[in-house]
Chains A and B, each alone.
Chain A
Amino acid sequence: MSSETLTKSSILEVSGIPAGSPVAEAIDGRANIIALSQTTEDAVLKPLETGAWSHDIRAALAARIAALNGETALVDRYCSLIEDASFADLADPLRSGKAQGLETICDFMDKVAVQTRDVDAPDIKSLQESGVSDADIVRLCEINAFMAYQVRVLAGIRLMKGARA
């Protein structure tokens, strides 16, 4: 499968790999992984069963994590998916999430994204005590975890491209 035959891929669209380049060739060799990465993005960002986190909240949190990682093109991509403008400023890591009643959620997501090693049992307990169900905690972690993967794939491919420029 050529990368050009994939109908949609955030990784390919955001990374803008020149067709025919050695990097494009390497990526074609792992076209199955790129396709599965997109399937996973869809499952994490636009699931049928959203739990407490609507597609808008998921897109905003994804954009927030992309911003914490300095991935501006990805921030724009996820912000463009937010339909209800009242959630839009969750995408800004400088905003606390208080306006949306999601301050605890934003604190948790920021810590898991940036200070992963410091996350400990009390962080989960504080979500539980603020009324977040266990299923919704798992959903938050999957959003965070998938974004950790996607931003690093993009950062790595950017360096591959740069080294070949």
Chain B
Amino acid sequence: MSDVIRKFTRSVPDWRPRVEPIKLEDATPEQLDALQVTPSNTKISAYVLTLAHDVETLKVRSPLFNGIMYDKGGLSREERELGALAASMVNHCIYCAAVHASRHAQIAKETTVTDELFAKGTKADLSPRNRAIFDFAHALSQTPSEASPEQMSALREAGLDDAEILDLILSAALFGWANRLMHVLGDPVRKGGT
């Protein structure tokens, strides 16, 4: 198990399932449909092949995921990634944190925010707006949620409107979901390992 990554990183690792994913050659027509397998798209990740055990959920979660993270309007893409990252840090989901820290860095075209967060966690030195966003998403990701009216006020004081706040709630909540699949069903491992 020495190849399992335990520390936050922006380098996206491989993911090794703890259960046996379905085999593409044994997939049912429903599974092939949910996996969106076509003759030109036969490369499916181990993660998606694992989720294909529950095909009804797999089929509906992708449009929801894409809507929350990419629909136009509301909170910026960069700030939705920050919400996703806050949840992933609470749940210590190394894989999700890597993916969404690297997307944040790509969109923001800088790495200071994610460097700070990975080095100092909740004590990171952030802009007032990023501070309000991260703190709210971090608190909402506790069980039960510890998000407070003061943190909600801080979001408004930092300039977020209702549409943006709703998008932040949705992106942080979505990663409460994704982390409980990615972190529970598999291990983040060094790329190219077994």
Q: List chain A positions with a Cβ less than 8 A from chain B.
A: 22-23, 25-27, 29-30, 32-33, 36-37, 39-40, 43-44, 47-49, 51, 68-71, 112-114, 116-117, 119, 121, 123-125, 128, 134-135, 137-139, 141-142, 144-146, 148-153, 155-157, 159-160, 162-163
Cβ proximity bits B66-91 to A, threshold 8 Å, 1 near / 0 not: 01100101100000000000000011
Q: How far apart are the CA atoms of A162 and B147 in the complex, in Å? A: 12
Q: How far apart are the CA atoms of A146 and B55 in the complex, in Å? A: 14
Q: List chain B positions with a Cβ less than 8 A from chain A.
A: 1, 18-20, 50-51, 53-57, 59-61, 63-64, 67-68, 71, 73-74, 90-93, 140-141, 143-145, 147-149, 151-153, 156, 161-163, 165-170, 172-174, 176-181, 183-185, 187
A157: nearest chain-B partner, CB-CB: B169
Q: How far apart are the CA atoms of A125 and B184 in the complex, in Å? A: 11
Q: Are A145 and B56 in contact (CB under 8 A)?
A: no
| Interface pairs (16), CB distance under 8 Å | A29-B166, A43-B56, A69-B143, A112-B180, A116-B90, A116-B184, A117-B91, A124-B185, A137-B53, A141-B185, A144-B180, A152-B145, A156-B165, A156-B169, A157-B169, A159-B149
A46: nearest chain-B partner, CB-CB: B56
Given A29-B163, A116-B183, A160-B162, check contact A39 B173 (CB 8 Å): no
A49: nearest chain-B partner, CB-CB: B56
Q: Which residues of A contact B153 (CB under 8 A)?
A: 163
Q: How far apart are the CA atoms of A162 and B1 in the complex, in Å? A: 47
Q: Are B19 and A40 in contact (CB under 8 A)?
A: no
B64, B162, B176: the one contacting A25 at CB < 8 Å is: B162
A134: nearest chain-B partner, CB-CB: B19
Q: Are B145 and A151 in contact (CB under 8 A)?
A: yes
What number of residue pairs across chains A and B have CB atoms under 8 A from each other?
176
Given A116-B91, A145-B178, A152-B145, check contact A138 B185 (CB 8 Å): yes
Q: Are A160 and B19 in contact (CB under 8 A)?
A: no
Q: How far apart are the CA atoms of A22 and B164 in the complex, in Å? A: 12
Q: Are A138 and B19 in contact (CB under 8 A)?
A: yes
Given A30-B166, A152-B145, check contact A146 B57 (CB 8 Å): yes
A49, A112, A142, A160: the one contacting B166 at CB < 8 Å is: A160
Q: Which residues of A contact B73 (CB under 8 A)?
A: 29
